[in-house]
């Protein structure tokens, strides 16, 4: 992992939505580390002390949890501009999850001590982290509904809806939709073809779009 303190274009600090105090922004930028990670690199492993607050600047970081037989399960996926605090941010306890890079990714980490200190002087940072943590919970609730649904059509449509970008296009691969829905890749392909025939989805170079009704 490379360490640098240069400013990041995707940095959440530059996000217009945030209204952090100038002193908070400066302190966070100063304390930040930038990590370039390659495919299958484990960013945080089970039992490791995590590095507090993270932001995915580029690429994708998947969260993997192991079941009793050692099989890996995808529990969440963070794409660029996703800020994620960890339980361990506040409890200092090791995490049982692994955060693994998909392809080439870049992420920024902010040390535990700095984040804690800043929360005590800037409550906006606390609210921002709280919002991010709650949003993660909501995202996973969506996943639970998808996994509980009986119909493949429902699973695929909800996944497309959940991962669509601002233009309404979902850029997930068939393999990724299959991992997310727990359907086989073959079923995902069949379902998409059937939805396309019924004019419920449209495929293009930008991704898959649910046909507006």
> Residue 13 — φ and ψ, nearest 5°?
-65, -25
Is 131 near a second copy (CB under 8 A)? yes
Which of 119, 152, 195, 208 is the binder for a second copy (CB under 8 A)?
119
Residue 204 binding a second copy, by CB under 8 A: no
Q: How far is the CB of 158 from a second copy (least distance, A)?
A: 7
Query: Using the rule CB under 8 A, is 52 a contact of a second copy?
Result: no
- Contact at 8 Å (CB) between 80 and 137? no
Binder to a second copy among 41, 79, 87, 194 (CB under 8 A)?
87
> Whole-number minimum distance, CB 93 to a second copy, in Å?
10
**Residue 170 contacts a second copy per CB under 8 A:** no
Q: Is 165 in the site for a second copy (CB under 8 A)?
A: no
Min dist. Cβ of residue 97 to a second copy (A): 7
Among 9, 22, 30, 148, binds a second copy (CB under 8 A): 148
Considering the rule CB under 8 A, would residue 135 count as an interface residue with a second copy? yes
140 counts as binding a second copy under rule CB under 8 A: yes
Q: Is 183 in the site for a second copy (CB under 8 A)?
A: no
Residue (5 or 140) nearer to a second copy, CB = 140
Taking the CA atoms of 84, 82, 37 and 100 in sequence, report the sign of the dihedral they define: positive
Among 7, 38, 123, 211, binds a second copy (CB under 8 A): 123
Residues 6+ apart with CB under 8 A from 131: none
**Nearer Cβ to a second copy (38/141):** 141
* Distance, CA of 10 to CA of 18 (rounded, Å): 13
| Contact residues for a second copy, defined by CB under 8 A | 63, 65, 67-69, 71, 73, 75-76, 85-87, 89-91, 97, 116, 119-120, 123, 126-131, 133-138, 140-145, 147-149, 151, 154, 157-158, 182
């Amino acid at each position: 992992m490379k360490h640098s303190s240069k400013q990041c274009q995707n940095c959440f600090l530059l996000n217009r939505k945030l209204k952090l105090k100038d002193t908070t922004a400066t302190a966070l930028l100063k304390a930040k580390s930038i990590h370039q990670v390659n495919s299958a690199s484990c960013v945080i492993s089970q039992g490791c002390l995590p590095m507090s607050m993270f932001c995915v600047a580029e690429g994708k970081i998947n969260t993997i949890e192991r079941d009793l037989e050692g099989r890996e399960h995808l529990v969440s996926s963070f794409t660029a501009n996703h800020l994620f605090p960890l339980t361990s941010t506040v409890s200092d306890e090791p995490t049982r999850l692994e955060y693994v890079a998909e392809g080439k990714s870049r992420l920024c980490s902010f040390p535990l001590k700095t984040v804690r200190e800043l929360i005590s002087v800037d409550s906006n940072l606390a609210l921002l982290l709280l919002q991010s943590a709650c949003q993660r919970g909501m995202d996973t609730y969506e996943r639970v509904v998808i996994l509980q649904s009986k119909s493949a059509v429902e699973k695929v449509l909800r996944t497309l809806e959940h991962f669509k970008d601002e233009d309404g296009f979902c850029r997930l691969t068939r393999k990724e939709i299959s991992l997310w829905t727990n359907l086989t890749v073959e079923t995902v392909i069949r379902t998409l073809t059937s939805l396309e025939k019924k004019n419920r989805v449209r495929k293009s170079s930008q991704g898959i779009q649910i046909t507006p009704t």
